Amino acid sequence: MQYLLCDDASVRKNLLPLTFTRPVALLRVGITTLREKWNHCLGPDAGFYTEDYLSAKYGMRRDMKQECLWINASFIPDKALAQAVGSLKAGQILMKEGRWVAFVYEALCRPDSEGHASDAASDKQDSCLFGSPLPGEAGKFSGDSVIEYSGECRQIRYPWDIFQENSRQISLDMEWLTEGRTSCRIGGAGLQCYGSHPLFAEEDVVVEHSLIDTTEGPVYLGKGSRIMPGCLVKGPLALCEGSLIKMGAKIYGGNTFGPYSKVAGEVENSVFIGYSNKAHDGFLGDAVLGEWCNLGAGTNCSNLKNDYTEVRVWNYAEERFIKTGLQFCGLIMGDHSKSAIGTQFNTGTVVGVAANVFAAGFPKNYIPSFSWGKETYRVERALETARIVYGRRGKVFAEEDARILKTIHEQTESNRVRFNTN
């Protein structure tokens, strides 16, 4: 049976700007992405079912000759949930407190004389699935076909769920990623480590004259990662492949630095999805950064209001600021966005995709995608910058990547008009 990780339409909107540029399944929480967790539980090669403009890069068309297991990608799998999902039969749906978790559709058609499924049947199936509150026609699932999941479920529904859940997921990921394995030798000199939780290093890790404290959680050092001299590091921490912690950094617990990121200064309970840099001094806490972001030297990000009241954050689905229920909430930044040197972000600031933030004093709490200060960042210029940034990391900025950014530029024009002219 094939299985697809599906973007729940309402959840995806709540997770913007992080899901402007990727399916929900590619959000990172803990050491791994949601897709990697599902692949571990159910087997490799999960496909995606996502927005049309993302499908050229991430989409996977259903094979109509096979039964198909559709999974709400925003749920975080564990053994019990994966077992319940994997036990579903054709025509059954798994629910949790009014939210769909997974369902199975039977093969819709028999192959023709040449072994191909009917395009008409495929189009009909696609048209009735995506964007519905419940995937598929509601009438398909009733009575005994609806199974209520009785176990505990964890779901990423808002950006701040990522940093709230991160410490726990680092520990859980560490268990299955390192099961039956021995940590590699750590290169460098002067490492001091103490604490009861494990420290695990992949190949070619270097730590120089730094202190690692695993008292409150494990530390995972990905392949080729490096910690430069004079760093103070607390677990839980995931320093993913090729990432770097620069000299003298103070890294508190709950952090994930995705592949090929650079980190300096003071960071607490934050997640970099990957390929993003905070390479200079300044504070960042209770935050999520997408890919290809850069925080300029001296950028500081508040995560606590001076009056200690609940933080409100811009929500794309409701197009207004909503309550988070949190006292601590910092920066949420979409892919390709950057801040100038000395930038001071207010508590709970949301920055869209490909925004360049520079201003005297504090910028606004919501900065639309493709903002250039209070002007519009021309899409051609943004694409050229992206090509340069990709090239610096040995990556190719493909035509699909350009089309994705162009689409986001078009979709967010009204927000720029509304907020950058005020």
Per DSSP, the three-state class of 321 is strand
Q: Which pairing describes strands 300-301 and 344-345: parallel, antiparallel, or unpaired?
A: parallel
pLDDT per position as a tens digit, 119-142: 444 444 443 343 344 454 444 677
List, in sequence order, every beta strand (DSSP E) within 125-180: 146-148, 154-155
Query: How much is the mean pLDDT over the chain?
Result: 91
pLDDT category at 61 given cuts 50, 70, 90 is low
pLDDT category at 63 given cuts 50, 70, 90 is low
pLDDT category at 234 given cuts 50, 70, 90 is very high
Per DSSP, the three-state class of 305 is coil
What's the one-letter identity of residue 216?
E
CA angle 22, 220, 12 (to 5 degrees): 20
pLDDT category at 273 given cuts 50, 70, 90 is very high
- 80, 94 contact by CB (below 8 A): no
List, in sequence order, every beta strand (DSSP E) within 120-276: 146-148, 154-155, 192-194, 199-201, 206-207, 211-213, 219-221, 226-227, 232-234, 237-239, 244-245, 250-251, 255-257, 262-263, 266-268, 271-274
Residues 336, 355: Cα–Cα separation, whole Å: 7
| Residue ranges of domains in the chain, CATH in brackets | 2-155 (3.90.550), 159-420 (2.160.10.10)
pLDDT per position as a tens digit, 276-328: 999 999 999 999 999 999 999 999 999 999 999 999 999 999 999 999 999 99
pLDDT per position as a tens digit, 191-211: 999 999 999 999 999 999 999
pLDDT of amino acid 111: 41
Length of the chain: 422
Q: From 186, 184, 189, select the one nearest 229 (Cα to Cα).
A: 189
Structure tokens that stand for 43 in this block: 């087997």
Number of H helices, E strands in the chain: 9, 39
